[in-house]
A and B are shown apart, each in its own frame.
Chain A
């Protein structure tokens, strides 16, 4: 024992996990489990089937490498902890499903990993729950996935209000700069992806974009009524209204057209959306990516979203959400007769109760009932009452 301790002491390694990673203990894990279960049921209700892409993918020396956690494999190849699941799904669809031309409905709940600068407080492990609809095309597919995101958040317990969901469109945002040559337009879009609207508009002005078009673009990207006027806005509103048809007037209006929404990820080609909460920031994002699968094989239209489960939990917590109560846990003190103790525990469980022999220190907010075994059929509760083990579950339940 002493020797084992010495080994650990000599290493002098820090006792916590590496920067940007953390332990999730039972109180939090139980709440996350409830959220995950709701989300996977909601996904399944729309016909999505779970899959598990691998933790590691090949890395690359490209412009986003600094955001990936990359290292060398034992054979010398560059590998990365997957930075998102959409790319993994696109890769596996192009490979494993290359001969299947029909529609795929795939879902996942899994962590992804992103590099964060030290001291920024950023987490490097992000738990994502999402869906990808591959082969789904057109306004109907857009509306279905947007509505599924709204429903997923709502079923998880979030109050979805008008501004929670922001809806933009990369093709329409790019269309604002249709007058510019292709290479200037891609410079402008790159600035917008980085959130630098000022630089994007400046590049367009320097390239000689006519003043009236420039003003229209500026209004659409930053104006108060931006997105609610002009032909682009009409198209965005149509997408939002179609998505709301799922509830046909029974829910609060949600969704704001917002052409300024240009996500950093470069693969979006059409509708894009984000769910934003005042306390947790961006809790989900998604959109149409019709060209991504083509980068790995045959091109196929596709749309999906990913919910950041930990941020959703943060938003729910801010709204005083707590998971539904579990059945109480019986902490059963053994009697001298060990066989009777085990039989008594089995009888309590058969009656619908959760039972732990002895005490449990980490209760994760769970209600507990202390009880003493009298014999295999009877227990004595702390208030002195004697109860039948087989029927105690029903008494408590009622």
Chain B
């Protein structure tokens, strides 16, 4: 059987994920953030670096056995994986935001026109949220910088992921409501988790203890 394959999200979570893995005694010396090698041998564990949204796909389809990935990615992709440990770092929130002082105006528009335009990089999270609230919206999918959308008249509101809220404030936006909060999770492919539980369990125990001690 091939070594356990552990997928890691390139980007904001990578440094803390590596710190956590180092803390439980895994050899992550071959993994260099921003490096060119995307498959790295780490002894009993092989590391794969990929974009966060692809990681959910890797694990769901069994191309990777384990991964550290944000709950935000799991919420947006709806990937069917097992969530084993809440690692606590990488905290951020999905929020609905609108231009400061324009919430009343957009609600008035909603009363007259019956629908709101919402720009977002996360159409699934946004769609589910407004459907649960029974608010009629048109979702406008953008690939980046949703916070610009209200400024240029592309949409009334945005749904975005925020850590500190500084970008929102810089663009004159205020949080209307919070949808969900997110932190990094240790996830596993369900079949791999059951099949290779003896190899995976020590990592789960180690990371759970590491997260609890933080």
Contact = CB atoms under 8 A, between A and B. Distances in A.
Do A and B bind? yes
Interface of A: 117, 121, 163, 166, 195-199, 202, 218, 222-226, 256, 258, 260-261, 274, 276-278, 281-282
Given A281-B62, A282-B190, A224 B198 contact: yes
B194 A196 contact: no
Contacts, number: 62
Nearest to A218: B208
A224 B202 contact: yes
A398 B190 CA distance: 50
B82 interface: yes
Interface stretch (B10-18, B26-34, B46-54, B83-91): B83-91
A197 B84 contact: yes
Interface of A is mostly: mixed
Contacts of B84: 197-198, 222
Contact of A260 (B1, B194, B202, B205): B194
A258 B86 contact: no
B80 interface: yes
Given A196-B82, A198-B86, A222-B204, A278 B198 contact: no
Given A197-B83, A218-B208, A223-B205, 19 more contacts: A163-B194, A163-B196, A166-B194, A195-B83, A196-B82, A196-B83, A198-B83, A198-B86, A198-B186, A222-B201, A223-B204, A224-B197, A225-B201, A260-B193, A260-B194, A260-B197, A276-B194, A276-B195, A281-B191
Nearest to A200: B83
B185 interface: yes
Interface residues on B, range: 20 to 34
B185 A198 contact: yes
Between B62, B197, B205, the greatest number of chain A beta carbons within 10 A of the residue's beta carbon is seen for B197
Given A281-B62, A282-B191, A226 B83 contact: no
Contacts of A226: 197, 201
Contacts of B80: 195
Interface of B is mostly: mixed
A349 B84 CA distance: 61
Nearest to B191: A281
Interface of B: 1, 61-62, 78, 80-86, 185-186, 189-191, 193-198, 201-202, 204-205, 208
A258 B197 contact: yes
A222 B1 contact: no
Nearest to B185: A198
A274 B194 contact: yes
B208 A222 contact: yes
A264 to B, nearest CB: 8
Nearest to B194: A166
B122 to A, nearest CB: 15
Contacts of A199: 83, 86
Nearest to A282: B191
A30 B182 CA distance: 49
Given A195-B80, A197-B82, A198-B85, A163 B205 contact: no
